[in-house]
Amino acid sequence: MELQMSATSRKELKNKMAAVFCDKIKTLSIELQGVLLDDLVTALENRLIILNRINENAQFVTAITENVDCETVQT
């Protein structure tokens, strides 16, 4: 499942991040603030995509292993 944000959602998230990081990024130029915020939104979007893939794979593996009897061997 790919998680692609709409342009509106990206803009809303970017605005929320701007509010959160306002004090930290105010020394940057407006252009650099925009670049940083856009990078943060992209990084978050990419992280969510990866975590969703991991979660889907974990659910798939769990579904498979529920039908398999496993023994723990202690060495």
pTM: 0.70
Instruction: Identify the pLDDT of residue 17.
Output: 96
How many other C-beta atoms are found inside a 10 Å radius of the C-beta of residue 37?
A: 20
Instruction: Identify the pLDDT of residue 5.
Output: 79
Instruction: Identify the pLDDT of residue 1.
Output: 46
pLDDT tens across 36-54, in order? 999 999 999 999 999 999 9
Please state the φ and ψ torsions of residue 71, each to the nearest 5 degrees. Answer: -120, 145
Domain boundaries, the chain: 26-63
CA distance 44 to 27: 23
SS3 29: coil
